Structures are given as structure tokens and as C-alpha cells.
Amino acid sequence: MSYIDPHIHMVSRVTDDYQRLAQAGCEMVSEPAFWAGFDRGSAAAFASYFRHLIEFEPQRAARYGIRHLCWLCINAKEAEDVPLAREVICLIPPLLDRPNVLGIGEIGLNKNTRNEATVFMEQLSMAADLNELVLVHTPHLEDKYKGTRMILDMIRELGRIAPERVLIDHVEEHTIKPALEAGHWAGMTLYPVTKCTPARAADMIEGYGPDRLMINSAGDWGPSNPMAVPECVAEMKARAWPPQTIRKVTYENPLAFFSQCKRWKG
């Protein structure tokens, strides 16, 4: 069964993972800019990273018949250094004409600090000014509900981005409802330790319906599973879901969201 993983950090995965994804039916991946496992000390380091996302990773994916798309930003974990963050933000607009760049992401909050909120709002404003899609990272564990509410409030207060052009990622049972009620898309991340399991994701889709929902592996440097999306598909099949519902969540919904990008070519 063909599917899309709308949030996976392939820069942190070995090439064998591309082969496994292709064998499982993955046709497309979307890679948000994120933390490198350490804090980068200069804008030049981010410039090299952006080049890796835009130029190298698509070539690696293409060897296995997978289309690679990406997002650009400075992530929340490195947003405490506001002067550096502003240098990095200035690098982004000239890169947004690349056809494989979907927009600004994953921006958001990590520990819900003032500096994180400042950098989030500046990148959100940039996205509004440039008419870009936005992919939002919500905090982990005990910071998640408060951080999600802060993010939703800031998006609403800015008032210059249509809600359907924003994907609120890493939602869980206590944050999915406010994200959907605000008119945004919502992503469920399937992590083996934190965030969400295939069974919990299936429960949420059953509770809220498949509209504006998608699932992702967010495979990265830490404990994570790039095969999480097909494992969730197995959970859906075990529940005797109609094939059209499974395809909607795992393929059609990501495609519908991505296709809003002004550079999109199907």
C-alpha cells in the first residue's frame, strides 16, 4: 500500500532506511528542519544543513524511488539564542524558491520560554509575509498542553495565516481537539517511547474522524522507528478499517496539505 511519511528526519537515518521505506510502499517523505543532536554555533552551520536538506537528501531518496521534500527554519530547541536565530532566519527567504521546499517548519516551542516564543512569532510572521505553509512542533510530555495552547493563541493573535495552512504536529489525546477546533491540520507522531503509539493514533482517528489528520514517524537521532507508519496501517487493518479511510489518513491528507504550497507540482 502506498503511503507518505509527512514528518521524518532522514538526515539522521542510514541509507538502508530508505530501502526499507520503499519496500513498505513509501512514495514521499517530508523532512522538517530540526535539532542536530547538539546546538549549532553559527549561521554558517545552518546554511550547510539547509543545503543538505535541499540538495543532497532528495538525491539519496530518489535512488529508491522516493520523493523527498523539506521545510526550513530554526527549531525551538535552538531558539534561546535570539541573535543567532535572527541570523538563521535571514538565510531562509532566498531558499524558498526551491521546488522541493514546502514552507517554514518545524517551528514551535520546546520549554515554552519567552525567547522561544519570540523566535516562533518572528518565523510565523515571515511565513505570513511570504505566503508559506507552516509546520509546528509542539512540546513534549508535561509541557505539551500549555505549549500547544500558547502556540494556538499566537497563531490566532497574528491573524495573517489561514488556519488550514498550518499543521500542528505531535498532537496527543489532550491537544488534538483544540488544534482541530482552531481549523488546523493535526499530525500524530508514532514514537516507541514518547508521543503516541499506533493504537492510540487509531483511537484518536476513530474519535475525531479522518479529516485533517495524518500520522508520521518523525524518525530521528533518538529511539524512533522509520517503519512506524506501516505499523500503524497494520493496526488500522486489524480493526477492519475501510481501505479508503486508511489511504485518506496515510496518503491523501498529507498530499492535500502539501498541495497548498505555492511551488507545488504534483
28 bridge partner residues: 4, 67
In a domain, 190, yes or no: yes
Contact call for residues 191 and 141 (beta carbons, < 8 A):
no
Report the domain count for the chain: 1
**What's the rounded Cα separation, in Å, for the pair 199 and 222?**
21
Q: Which CATH number fits the domain that encloses residue 151? A: 3.20.20.140
**What's the rounded Cα separation, in Å, for the pair 158 and 165?**
14
Domain range spanning residue 221?
A: 3-258
**pLDDT given for residue 223 in this prediction:** 87
**What's the rounded Cα separation, in Å, for the pair 188 and 205?**
10
**What's the rounded Cα separation, in Å, for the pair 223 and 194?**
9
165-175 burial: b if 16+ Cβ within 10 Å, else e:
bbbbbbbbeeb
In a domain, 180, yes or no: yes
In a domain, 170, yes or no: yes
Provide the 3-class DSSP secondary structure of residue 172.
Answer: coil
**What's the rounded Cα separation, in Å, for the pair 167 and 150?**
15
In a domain, 34, yes or no: yes
**What's the rounded Cα separation, in Å, for the pair 3 and 16?**
18
Task: Enter the C-alpha cell of residue 130.
Answer: 511570504
Q: Full-prediction pTM beyond 0.85? A: yes
**What's the rounded Cα separation, in Å, for the pair 245 and 233?**
10
In a domain, 65, yes or no: yes
Write out the chain's pLDDT in tens, 266 residues.
Answer: 899 999 999 999 999 999 999 999 999 999 999 998 889 999 999 999 999 999 999 999 999 999 999 999 999 999 999 999 999 999 999 999 999 999 999 999 999 999 999 999 999 999 999 999 999 999 987 889 999 999 999 999 999 999 999 999 999 999 999 999 999 999 999 987 777 999 999 999 999 999 999 999 999 988 899 999 999 999 999 999 999 999 999 999 999 999 999 999 97
At 129, the amino acid letter reads D
In a domain, 264, yes or no: no
In a domain, 246, yes or no: yes
Contact call for residues 191 and 231 (beta carbons, < 8 A):
no
**pLDDT given for residue 214 in this prediction:** 98
**pLDDT given for residue 192 in this prediction:** 78
CA-based radius of gyration for the chain? 17
**pLDDT given for residue 261 in this prediction:** 98
**pLDDT given for residue 93 in this prediction:** 98
**What's the rounded Cα separation, in Å, for the pair 189 and 229?**
9
